[in-house]
Amino acid sequence: GEDVEQSLFLSVREGDSSVINCTYTDSSSTYLYWYKQEPGAGLQLLTYIFSNMDMKQDQRLTVLLNKKDKHLSLRIADTQTGDSAIYFCAETLYNQGGKLIFGQGTELSVKP
C-alpha cells in the first residue's frame, strides 16, 4: 500500500544542522521528493532523488535514501531562521500517472 510517514515537529538552533526523516512503504517508488511549505503559501520543491541513487547533495541540502529500509532523510546544513517551515516528503509510483503521495509534514522551528 501507499503510506508515507514523518515525525511532526523538529526544533533546532540557528546554525545547527537539521535532519528530517521520512519512511515510505511502496518499494516501486521511482522518485522521492522534499517539498517546503511556508505559512499561507503553496508547496515548493526543494529537491528530489531518483530511486537508484543513495545520496544527493544540493548546496546546504543533503538527501539520503536507504531503499532497503525505505527511509529517506533531508539534512539542512547551517539552518537559518528562514528555513522555518513545514517540510513534506513525497513519493511517486511507477505507472501511477505521476501523482505524488505525501507525508503529513514535519514542522521545522529554527530558534535564533
Hey, how many other C-beta atoms are within 10 angstroms of the C-beta on 61?
14
Each residue 80-99 as x (binds other proteins by CB under 8 A) or -, in order, gives --------x-x-x----xxx
Among residues 85, 105, 108, 110, which is the contact residue for other proteins, using CB under 8 A? 105
Instruction: Give the whole-angstrom CA distance, residue 44 versus residue 95.
Output: 24
Specify the stretch interacting with other proteins by CB under 8 A; choose among 11-19, 38-46, 57-65, 69-77: 38-46
Burial of 54 (0-12, 13-18, 19+ CB in 10 A): exposed
Q: Site size for other proteins, by CB under 8 A?
A: 26
Q: Which three cell numbers stand for residue 18?
A: 537539521
Judged by the rule CB under 8 A, the positions of this chain that interact with other proteins are: 4, 8, 30-31, 33, 35, 40-45, 48, 50, 88, 90, 92, 97-105
